[in-house]
Amino acid sequence: MSIWKDQNPARKDSIPLPPEPVRDAPAVADFSPTTTAPPRAVPAATNEPKESLIAADLTIEGKIEGTGHVRIAGKFKGDVNVQGDLTIESGAKLNGGVRAKKVTIAGELEGNIEAASRVELLSSGVIIGDLKAGSLTVAAGSRMRGQADFGWDDSKAASKSGSKDAEKTDVAS
C-alpha cells in the first residue's frame, strides 16, 4: 500500500516492480549503515617535527636519537643526537655529548657539543665542555669552561694543507 496516489496509470507493456516494504517510523534516530555521516575535516599533514619533553621532575639516563626536537626541563644523563633542535631549560642539566641542528642552553650542559649549526647560550646557561658550531650567540651572565670552535666550515678547514684543526678560542670563567 502506498501513501501517495499514483498520477500515471500503469502501462500494460511495462514490467511491474515489486512493492517496497513498509517501514515503521523509528522511535529514535536511525543510525543504520545506509545513513551517511557528515564528512570530517582531516587535518593537513605537516612536515614539522614533533617536540619531546623531559619534564622538570624527571631524571633519565640513556640515549636520545631521532629527527624531532627535544626539550629538557629535568635531568638527563647520556648522549643526544637529533636532527632537530635541543633546548635545555633553566634549572635543567644534561650530562653527555650533543649533536643537533640548533642548541639553546638556559640550564647546564656538562659535555661536548660535537656538531651544531647554531648554539645559543642564554644568560642563565652553563657549558662545561668543548663546542663546535656554525654560529655561537652568548648572552651576558652565561658561563663556559672549554674550547669553542665556531664560524668555520668543516669542509674548507679540512681541505687546507698543514691545518689540523680550525682556529680555537679558549674560554674560561
Q: DSSP secondary-structure letter at 83?
A: S
Helix (H) / strand (E) element for 128: namely: strand 126-128
Q: Show the cell assigned to 139.
A: 648572552
Instruction: Tell me the pLDDT of the chain (173 aa) as tens digits.
Output: 556 565 665 555 556 666 665 555 555 555 555 555 556 655 555 667 789 999 999 999 999 999 999 999 999 999 999 999 999 999 999 999 999 999 999 999 999 999 999 999 999 999 999 999 999 999 999 999 999 999 987 655 444 444 444 444 455 44
Start-to-end CA distance of the chain, whole Å, equals 97
CA distance 46 to 69: 15
- Show the cell assigned to 43: 587535518
Integer angstrom CA distances of residue 138 from 69, 87, 125: 21, 15, 9
Nearest-CA neighbor of 16 among 30, 29, 28, 6?
A: 6
- What pLDDT does 166 receive? 43
DSSP 34: T
pTM: 0.64
Q: Are 22 and 1 in contact (CB under 8 A)?
A: yes
Which contacts (CB < 8 Å, 24+ apart) does range 65-73 have? Answer: 70/100, 72/107
